[in-house]
Amino acid sequence: MIVWQADFYKHLSQENDNNTTWNLIICDEQGVIIHQASCQQSEANSNWLVSQLASLFQQYSPNIIKVFRPQCLSLFTLVGETLGIKIKGTRRTPQIKQILQQKYPNSRTLQQPPPQAIPESLWGDKWHFATFKAGDFMDYFSDRPIPIKDLPEGLNPINLGIASNIIIPGVVIYGGRKSMYLGRWLADNQPVSLNYIPTEVGKSGGLILESGLVDRWVFLTFEDEVMAKSAQQYEQQKESSQGIHFLLIQPDDSGITQTGIWLLKKEVI
């Protein structure tokens, strides 16, 4: 499968404030630049992108183009519909981000909205922190009949060289009757990471869910010193697991069935 990562962004000239150009960069998943071009702001539309990409598609026949910037996702989506190529909005575009960091370090910054509350109608019965050994994680979850599953190969602990005895931390939600509703909502919003944010040192805090391209959600809150210590340990365990962690949705604590499983890692915006 041929997968590309692409960006199309506005660049303001430092010498001339009136000279605004849009830069197109496309690379493969090894970080090799496939194509780059620029146009004036008056030309920055889906027709210009189609003109740039049509001949490339005939030559390389990519299967997917990944785009991380919300401002250009709709343009690429139109291009995809015109040229018959799948466009995927995702934060997980490390190669194009590295290229931008090297060439245009100010071009990567994206604005994030304040965290929003998850709809109360989706919330489950209870939750807790949990752990799996890195060597057991994929073996346990990959073949289980879980309706909603997102276990990217790029986050597979073994593929990342994480020792099999390293702990992978995570959060388990018991959704009860709302388990599938919560799982579907999460699948629609594409979880990226789940991070502890303290609000009072050592006593309270919450877990913020990063999802989609720039979205943030207040996933859990607590005012409990014991829970705060568990949350601190959760973040410390992430440091040992190269940031890999998980989110598991279950109907109950029987362990017989699971609704959804996500393997997560924080991505730089």
* Rounded-to-integer distance, Cα 263 and Cα 7, Å: 25
Phi, psi torsion values for 120, nearest 5 degrees:
-60, -30
Contacts of 199 (CB under 8 A, 6+ apart): 205, 206
Q: What integer pLDDT is reported at residue 14 of this predicted model? A: 57
- The reported pLDDT for the residue numbered 11 is 77
pLDDT (tens, 9 = 90+) of the chain, 269 residues, equals: 899 999 999 877 655 556 788 999 999 999 999 999 999 989 999 999 999 999 898 889 899 999 999 999 999 999 999 999 999 999 999 999 999 988 877 676 788 889 999 888 888 779 999 999 999 999 999 889 999 999 999 999 999 999 999 999 999 999 998 999 999 999 999 999 999 998 877 677 899 999 999 999 999 888 888 898 999 999 999 999 999 999 999 999 888 899 999 999 999 77
Q: pTM for the whole thing? A: 0.88
Give dist(CA 72, CA 162) in Å, integer. 35
Domains of the chain by start residue, with CATH: 3-103 (3.30.420.10), 116-264 (no CATH)
- Please tell me the distance from the alpha carbon of residue 98 to that of residue 1, in angstroms, as a whole number: 22
Token couple for 147? 């309706």
* Interatomic CA distance for residues 218 and 257, integer angstroms: 26
How far from each other are the two terminal CA atoms of the chain, in whole angstroms?
26
pLDDT at 242: 96
In sequence order, the 6+-apart residues with CB closer than 8 A to the CB of 49 are: 8, 24, 75, 76, 78, 79
Amino acid identity of 63?
Answer: N
